[in-house]
Amino acid sequence: MKELEEFVWGNKFWSDGYFAETSGKISEYKLKEYIRAQCSSMTREG
């Protein structure tokens, strides 16, 4: 089990990366509006 633990948690299995997902069928305007709303709610919440 120790070997598996080292494999999974010992920087051998996980790596830096990114997440990407489609936004569906919405307009660019609506997407930007959503992002602006998220940013402003983050600044209000701290």
Residues 7 and 1 sit within 8 Å (Cβ to Cβ): no
Q: Domain segments of the chain: what residues?
A: 2-45
pLDDT greater than 60 at residue 46? no
> Whole-model pTM above 0.75?
no
pLDDT in tens, 19-32: 777 878 889 899 88
pLDDT of 16: 67
3-state DSSP percent of the chain in helix, strand and coil, to 5: 55, 0, 45
